[in-house]
Chains A and B, each alone.
Chain A
Amino acid sequence: MNRRVVITGIGVVAPGGRNTKEFWDSLTAGRTATRAVSLFDATPFRSRIAAECDFDPATEGLPEHQAQKMDRATQLAVVAARQALADSGFVHPPRRPHRTGVTIGTAVGATMSLDTEYSVVSDRGARWLVDHEHATPNLYDHLVPSSFAARIAWEVGAQGPVSVVSTGCTSGLDAVGHAVELIREGAADSMVAGATDAPISPITLACFDAIRATSPRNDDPEHASRPFDRTRNGFVLGEGSAVFVLEEMELARRRDAHVYAEITGFASRSNAYHMTGLRTDGSEMAEAIRAALDRARLDRTDVDYVNAHGSGTKQNDRHETAAFKRALGEHSYRVPISSIKSMIGHSLGAIGSLEIAASALAIENGVVPPTANLHEPDPECDLDYTPITARETRVDTVLTVGSGFGGFQSAMLLSKPKRG
């Protein structure tokens, strides 16, 4: 028995897109959502740019008394999960709750709440022995990001395997990959899976400033995220969430669910090299791509679109270009590639799931979203990164990849649903 896994529902809360339709319209129009930071006063920072979600919990169905118990990352995920459930028509609570699970990816958990709460209990850094009496009653939920998955499981009524996957910036790919494996092995029939991060807080800006990973193009925030461009100078921090309903294919067919795509392959590798650095030859990412193709029983020439990690750091974009050449050979020069981070920034653990959403929508609509702000190609990045303008083309198979601190390299293949 060969169990196959399909996407039957998509929910998105992203910069420049409060739902799946707005997200896709924005991406295919090549509109950027990178702006000056508005969530707090970022004056002291080297990089003061971010891609923020236009998000009001109350209008998204989260009244004050619910929203105040949740970190912003949880709020984004709950809203995305509700959208995905509604989109798929998946009945919840499910009739067989033990056969439904949840996996949520996050790189930095409730970092925004932890940052704010620390300033309160430490009296803005005045005391090391922080004052527990002034702590929010929800502090434990912020300590343990597992609370994110618990919250979504309560929404869904899931009683099967529930977990948070946290592998840095590949969390969003790895969480969905984990859910696919659970359905394939028979531990669950359906999974609500995705990722969320809301890292736009002083501590996150400070640590990326310290390693000069984020772009200081503060005078031109709308054009600051420039993957594969010669003038790129770092990534732009983002936030958001994408959540999917994944189902075993036969069960999805039986209930006549709309199928966006089948997830046909997934693999991950580690570079075992450096917590933040990358080996220039892209060998581990190439190996992850090869292993994912192998599992999907696809040839590299089957890939119609590559959704790149394309963070816009000097190092990443060269590393990734090398990986594509290594894994896809001559085909890497022919296949359209693009980075949606050029428009919605890099939302750490969430971005992998947002990129899966873009990949599924590329298949659904036959459109490859562009890489915005790519005007002067880096001579060392000499592939077709679909600059500036979206491209209509037949998309049957998408490769989406991610690369993260800790050395994680992941690759996933999505394919147009086929009968049989």
Chain B
Amino acid sequence: MVVRTAMAEAAGLDRGVPGATAPVVTGIGVAAPNGLGTGPWWRATLAGERAIAPITRFNADSYPARMAGEVRDFDPSEHLPSRLIPQTDHMTRLALAASAEAFADAGVDTSALPEYAAGVVTSASAGGFEFGQRELQALWSKGSRHVSAYQSFAWFYAVNTGQISIRHGLRGPSGVLVTGEAGGLDAVAQARRRLRGDAELMLTGGVDGSLCPWGWTALLSSGRLSTSDDPEHAYLPFSADARGHVVGEGGALLVLEAPESARARGARAYGALSGYAATFDPAPGAGGEPGLRYAIEQALDEADVTPDQVGVVFADACGVPDDDRAEADAISGVFGSRGVPVTAPKTLTGRLCAGGASLDLAAALLSVHEGVLPPTADVGRQAEGICLDLVTGTPRYGRVDVALVLARGQGGFNAAAVVRAADL
């Protein structure tokens, strides 16, 4: 426990009162394939409504994978001023919509905050790729003079943070982290770090997606996309029939605040972010244990939580057999065989790149807030050697004090976050 002592002392954390200084989430904004807005998404999630379907954004017939989780019925003109539409990628429009919802939900008037007190940290995995494809197409087919001036920022990884900070006048410390699919947790941890410094309120999370032929081609080269054409069987994490995953678009943005300031303005808190850790796997061929279990142990340790207090684990659920087994080993290693309920609501939406882990964090917060575990789509028989208590079919109701969220980014990135109920 040397690590814990060092971390606790270094950060000056108040370890005697669990959660006393942990920041709280007071607002949630969601853009998910199975629901635009927190309410519609959460109802669909509890009802087990699956949004994995054939791609409609472009003609995917010629590609070996053809299923995705698309955000449907999104009309950008309902969410954005018209001048922003030509300068934004689809994923940035979704992010701007989610940011507005999160602030409204938190009841925060950002214009009334002290000048440099609020910032934004988002995660991206690949930037605004659809916008980028249009400009690359213009460059190669028509020539350099046909490239849009907006290409200088509309596709790059920092675009969501920049556009959100402008839209809401957030002049405090901001940031952008890129760690593949782990980014949705890493960004939130970065925002927490800002609250320990001089920020009072942060908007954070990830809304992501690269659903265009160019992005799709790049995703295909990961070798991890499911080539099944059956929406019900394309993405079956932990299953004996696992065959890769389906990707989607969207994610969640959260308003994170110090508990004192949330209390002072009479806000409602969904829960507190009380533990987090990130690790990286050993280099390929180097041997040694993958890092996920160590990340879980460190995050629980920081939250001052023992494994038996954890009511649910939101799994990364990669859907690639070796990765599924590695994750199941890490979970069983900490909690025991079938030792904790495990769920993967992303089986309904697909993996949302850097947005998925933020959406899981939103689900974990609602789980502790409402006392309900959202279900995983039925994955059939678990693969040999995997023995998890998967929440399938219907939600499980009952008090949940602590939830653990796991995320892994391709290449070796691991992140674990602990949320717990918060009384302000």
Q: Contact residues of A with B, CB < 8 Å?
A: 1, 3, 44-45, 93, 97-99, 101-102, 107-109, 114-115, 118-119, 121-122, 124-126, 128-132, 135-140, 142-147, 149-150, 153-154, 157-168, 171, 174, 178, 181, 184-187, 202-203, 205-211, 213, 267-276, 284, 287, 291, 295, 404-408
Contacts and interface: CB of A to CB of B under 8 A. Distances in A.
Interface of B: 3, 6-11, 58-59, 62-64, 87, 116, 119-120, 124-127, 129, 132-133, 135-145, 147-149, 151-153, 156-159, 161-163, 165-166, 168-180, 183, 186, 190, 193, 196-198, 210, 213-223, 277-284, 286, 288, 291, 294, 409-413
Contacts of B196: 185
Contacts of B149: 207, 210-211
Contacts of B172: 269-270
25 contacts: A44-B145, A99-B3, A108-B156, A128-B133, A143-B129, A143-B210, A145-B178, A146-B183, A146-B409, A149-B179, A161-B278, A174-B175, A181-B193, A186-B6, A186-B11, A203-B136, A203-B147, A205-B144, A206-B144, A206-B151, A269-B116, A270-B174, A271-B171, A272-B165, A407-B174
B174 A276 contact: no
A154 B412 CA distance: 10
A-B residue pairs, 8 tightest by C-beta: A125-B141, A186-B10, A406-B162, A125-B140, A150-B411, A143-B218, A166-B157, A154-B283
A154 B63 CA distance: 32
Contact of B213 (A44, A128, A208): A128
Given A107-B157, A118-B133, A130-B213, 5 more contacts: A115-B139, A132-B64, A135-B220, A140-B218, A146-B178
Given A1-B9, A287-B116, A268 B162 contact: no
Chain B CB count within 10 A is highest, among A101, A145, A271, for: A145
Which DSSP category, helix, strand, loop or mixed, fits chain A's interface? Answer: mixed
Contacts, number: 293
Given A130-B214, A162-B413, A124 B141 contact: yes
A275 B153 contact: yes
Contact of B136 (A107, A118, A272): A118
Which DSSP category, helix, strand, loop or mixed, fits chain B's interface? Answer: mixed
Contacts of B9: 1, 186
Contact of A140 (B6, B143, B178, B221): B221
Given A159-B282, A166-B124, A276 B152 contact: yes
Given A130-B217, A137-B221, A140-B219, A406 B158 contact: yes
Nearest to B5: A186
Contacts of B178: 144-146, 149, 163-166
Contacts of B190: 178
Contact of B177 (A163, A269, A271): A163
Contacts of B223: 140
Contacts of A138: 221
A103 to B, nearest CB: 9
B357 to A, nearest CB: 13
Contacts of B193: 181, 185
B177 to A, nearest CB: 5
